[in-house]
Amino acid sequence: MSPYFALFSLTVLAAWGQQDPAFSHVPFDDWLKGAPEGHLKWSAQTLFPHLSVHQRLIAGVSARIDGSEFVGRKPGQLVVFVELRDSDNRTYRTYGVMNSAELNRPGDLALAALDMYAFIRPGEYRVAVAVYDRESKEHVLKRLKLRVPELTRDPLPNLWNSLPAVEFIDMSQEPPDRWFFPDAVGRLNLPVANAAPLRVDVVVNESPTENSMGRAGRTTRRNMGSLIPALKVLSQMEIQNGSVNVALLDLERRKVSFTQDNAVTLDWAGLKAALQDNDPNTIDVKALEHHEQNAQFFISEIRKRCETNPTGALIVLSGPMAFAKGQDLTPIPAVPGAKVFYIRYYPPSPGPSVGLAPRGRGMGPPPPMIGRRSMMSQDDSLAATLKPLSPKRFDVSTAGEFRSALAAIVSELSRTK
């Protein structure tokens, strides 16, 4: 059988932490001092830093091991250890086990890679990557440098002031955890300097908003990979005299599936349960019977929040949504004084970039997005129903565009008197 000429991203089975306890079981500090090394066909490299939908910079380290090294070794015998050291000499460590079903046939494996990622602040980092054989106790180690540049013309230059320099994240998680990264607990610096009391309602439309089908013909919610991170970011606004309240709307079932008032720390357990319960592929027949009422359910929920919070603000997060024929699309009646923002998040394109990539001395805009023009032309019934409220609309499809929208919203809310 011919070998696999492919790059395998193997599941990280380790616990993730900034000072991982697994390091206490290996002489990693001795390795750094130049302890004798073993022999292994491998390489290591840093991965391109970019701005993520979580409004955090992401960088990574990749260890690539020749498939021949797995012949005669058990799955899980090789472990990769990673240390990042910042300019203040603080260390951040994690590890991952090379353990995959593919390794049951090591003779067919050409190359294996284990990629580890972290939210990271701009700066210069020294990186040490080691591969350790649990049976022979041998190790190999490489030293790298990682430079994470500042964003060019950053509209929110102080957003990361209170964050740790490095916060490891597990990219192997399945949605919805991968949409939220619950283990990433660092908080963004998003003060809103409003003078008058202010309540901000953030409403997320969790229903599928585009005709996208996944494997086995299942409906997907690609936009939730952008909307849930955006919700997490918005919930971290620090209202000087007020609160942020959040709600998740399931338009197909015409219900509010999750609410949280004063969401200083978003209740991920409750939000995750709502997302899992409302699988778009398991909607019951009863809910489908009155689908022509979906639009008016959305309208009634938005109107209720505007009328009960006339001096506050409402932020709607959704993808562009075209309701089926037969819907009552009567717009929301105007509500005097309503302050409404509509962040219309287009689903990510199949292009290689979802954020800002380094350019020159800073980080500039990403390459043109594939199919962006056709995406922007999608019908959107929600925009028409919101029109009487005169919302400020932000069309967003990249992390950089959301960052600009976020800066504009925070600036306007800060002028509340």
Q: How far apart are CA 361 and CA 380, in angstroms?
A: 39
Beta strands in 10-151 (DSSP E): 42-51, 57-66, 78-85, 91-97, 109-120, 123-133, 139-148
Amino acid (one-letter) located at 403? R
pLDDT at position 373:
40
Domains and CATH numbers, the chain: 7-148 (2.60.40.2550), 174-413 (3.40.50)
Rounded CA separation 306/174 (Å): 35
Percent share of the chain, pLDDT over 90: 58
List, for residues 169-222, the tens digit of each pLDDT value: 988 888 999 999 998 999 999 999 999 999 999 999 998 765 443 443 333 466
| Residue 346 pLDDT greater than 60, yes or no | yes
Rounded Cα distance between 151 and 403, Å, is 11
* Res. 152: pLDDT tops 70: yes
- Bridge partners, 115 (sequence order): 62
Q: Which run of H or E residues covers position 409?
A: helix 399-413
Helix (H, G, I), strand (E, B) or coil at 406: helix
| Number of continuous H segments (helices) and E segments (strands) in the chain | 9, 19
Burial 284-309, CB ≥16 within 10 A → b, else e: eeeeeeebeebbbbbbebbbebbeeb
Give the model's pLDDT for residue 13.
Answer: 38
Q: Is the pLDDT of residue 339 over 50?
A: yes
Q: How remote is the C-alpha of 155 from its chain's centroid?
A: 20
CA–CA gap between residue 142 and residue 77 (Å, rounded):
19
Phi and psi at residue 326, to the nearest 5°:
95, -5
* pLDDT for the residue 283: 57
What distance in Å separates the CA atoms of residue 96 and residue 399, rounded to the nearest whole number? 28
Token pair belonging to 396: 């967003």
Instruction: Look up residue 148 and give its DSSP letter.
Output: E
Percent of the chain with pLDDT over 70: 79
pTM metric for this prediction? 0.86
In the block, which residue shows the tokens 């970039």?
Answer: 353
Which tokens in the block code for residue 359?
């350019």
Task: Check if the beta carbon of residue 237 is closer than 8 Å to that of residue 244.
Answer: yes
Euclidean distance between CA atoms 145 and 45, whole angstroms: 9
Element (H, E) at 87: none
